Structure 1
Amino acid sequence: MAKHLEYGIQGEQLATERLIREGYRIVKRNWKHKHLEVDIIAYDGAVLVFVEVKTRRSLAFGEPSEFVDIHKQRKLIRAADIYLGGCEHIGDIRFDVVSVYLSDIVEITIVKDAFWSN
């Protein structure tokens, strides 16, 4: 397996563990619908959260969360709409981004309400 894929898997596992420690209840990991994917779907209290995980080994090009551009946001919003159409959730939703920086030390940052859907 390519190293960048291994880092991504490691980052998603670390992000999941951190979210659980923060009180999130994980519902799905790597949920897919056609070409759309959500890394983690979880509840934070009563709020259904769609989580994008970004893992990097270097900050040379910026924080990992900065790589969730408008195109990626739109894809996540479409994925959330499809997911919501097939579940019984009624209430608030949120989009979070978890940045995982893998270096000599591991740094994990949760950005709650990282962006909004229209």
Structure 2
Amino acid sequence: MAEHNLLGKAGEDAAVQYLEQHEYTIRHRNWRKGHLELDIVAAQNGELIIVEVKTRTDTDFALPQDAVTPQKIRRTVIAADTYIKLFQIDASVRFDIITVVGKAGNFRIEHIKEAFYPPLF
């Protein structure tokens, strides 16, 4: 596995651990349906939380959340809609970003709740 893939997996592992420590229930990791993908699908207090995870070794070039472009938001919202319909979920939905910066074992985690809202298509 390439080094950036290992970093990404370690970042997602750290994000899941963070969410579990904050009393979120993890429903799915790396959920896929065709070309659609969601990094983490979690639940807390009757709400469905879709989490996009961005992992970087540093922030010298850009902030990790800057990689969540309008196109990525659109794809994430479409994937979330598909997920909700497939699993027949009747709950409010929130879109969060978790940034993970550093090296495995020494990550800084930032949880950005309500990081974006579904755009109108």
Say yes or no: TM over 0.5. Answer: yes
Q: Runs of 4+ in structure 1 displaced over 4 angstroms?
A: none
- Counterpart CA distance in 1 for 2:29 and 2:107 is 21
Deviation at 1:88, TM superposition (A): 2.8
Residue identity (%): 36
Q: Which residues of structure 2 form unaligned runs of 5+?
A: none
Q: How many residues align?
A: 118
TM-score (norm 2): 0.92
CA–CA separation in structure 2 for the residues paired with 1:105 and 1:2: 20
Query: How far is the alpha carbon of 1:105 from its aligned partner?
Result: 3.6
Match of 1:60, SS state, is coil
Paired position in structure 2 for 1:117? 118
Superposition TM-score, scaled by structure 1 size: 0.95
Match for residue 24 of structure 2? 24
Say what the alpha-carbon RMSD is for the aligned residues.
Answer: 1.3
Looking at structure 2, the residues matched to 76 and 25 of structure 1 have their Cα atoms a distance apart, in angstroms, of 20
Which amino acid is 1:113 matched to? E
- Deviation track 1:2-54 (CA, whole Å, cap 9, x = no partner) reads 00000000000000000111111000000001111101000021110111100
CA drift of 1:117 comes to 0.8
